[in-house]
Amino acid sequence: MSKIPVDIGQQNKVLMLLPGYNCGICGYARCDEFAGALLRKRTQLEKCRFLYQEIFQEDLAKLQEILKETKIIPDEEKIIGVLDGYEADVVLKPLPSEESCRETLYPFTREEIKPGEIIRYRPLGCPIIHFAKVLEENHGLITVHLVGPCHRLDPEAEFDYKDVGVCMVGGFEGMLEGKLPRVGETVRFLPYHCMMQKVHSGVVVQLEGRRAIIEGIDLKVWAPPIKG
């Protein structure tokens, strides 16, 4: 296989922005080898786990810009909500092997809600009735996976659910697709499973690689819609 030439100056520029641990986790023995592989399109930034820690976020952003300028990675496509036409910063996808993002809900009902139950509810500020499976309950907050509404509105379907009325959505957990934000940053995001494909906003409170928890959820997005 012929070796693709790499500009040494560019490689050193990339190398200076890498953590410099020479840990080998990325599959290369040293960071300079990883830098060369990046510029030859033989690996991806995501292979360096340390880059996605908070202390390296500025370096990560600079590396992404360098790789865009050199056409190593393409410019990101805009993420536009279908319902309102707002632009999102990221898409929030389910955790590996799960079918929807996890949601943390605060139900206003006084009924006891147990893990494993199916609940019927409407998120505060959303016109759509949801059905979800309860994963856990913690001091009045419940973590759920969406399982409807479409097939659960079928009158012929056999299932049991508990109607808990309106719930406040406190947070989401899932995998981010797009430019990584910083912890504490307010982001506009599109939940992958959202039936209206509506852009939400919230604050990133935890970030491990691309796994994120976003809280302080709001359906209002303070930005002008994208005009086609």
Question: Does residue 171 carry a pLDDT above 60?
Answer: yes
Averaged over 168-196, what is the pLDDT? Answer: 90
- Report DSSP state, residue 4: P
User: Computed from CA positions of residues 58, 59, 64, 68, in that sequence, does the dihedral angle turn out positive or negative?
Assistant: positive
Residue-by-residue DSSP string for 48-103: -GGGGSGGGHHHHHHHHHHHHHTTSSPPPPPEE-TTT-PEESEEEEPPTT-SS-EE
Phi, psi (rounded to 5 degrees) for 162: -110, 125
| 88 Rama class: left (phi>0) / alpha (psi -120 to 50) / beta | beta
Question: Does residue 158 carry a pLDDT above 80?
Answer: no
Q: Degrees (nearest 5) of the Cα angle 66, 76, 79?
A: 155
Is residue 74 included in any domain, yes or no? no
- 54: CATH: 1.10.15.40
Question: Does residue 1 carry a pLDDT above 60?
Answer: no
Is residue 40 included in any domain, yes or no? yes
Give me the pLDDT at residue 132, please.
92
The verdict on 59 and 88 lying in the same domain is no
Domain that holds residue 34: 8-69
Mean confidence (pLDDT) of the chain: 84
The pTM (predicted TM-score) of the whole model is 0.64
Give me the pLDDT at residue 152, please.
46
Is residue 30 included in any domain, yes or no? yes
Q: What is the pLDDT of residues 70-82, one digit of tens each?
A: 766 555 566 666 6
The verdict on 42 and 87 lying in the same domain is no
Give me the pLDDT at residue 57, please.
82
Question: Does residue 187 carry a pLDDT above 60?
Answer: yes
Q: Degrees (nearest 5) of the Cα angle 23, 25, 30?
A: 45
| Structural domains in the chain (count) | 2
Q: What is the pLDDT of residues 3-51, one digit of tens each?
A: 556 678 888 989 999 999 999 989 999 999 999 888 888 888 888 988 8
The verdict on 165 and 93 lying in the same domain is yes
Q: How far apart are the first and last CA of the chain?
A: 45
Bigger pLDDT: 149 vs 172: 172
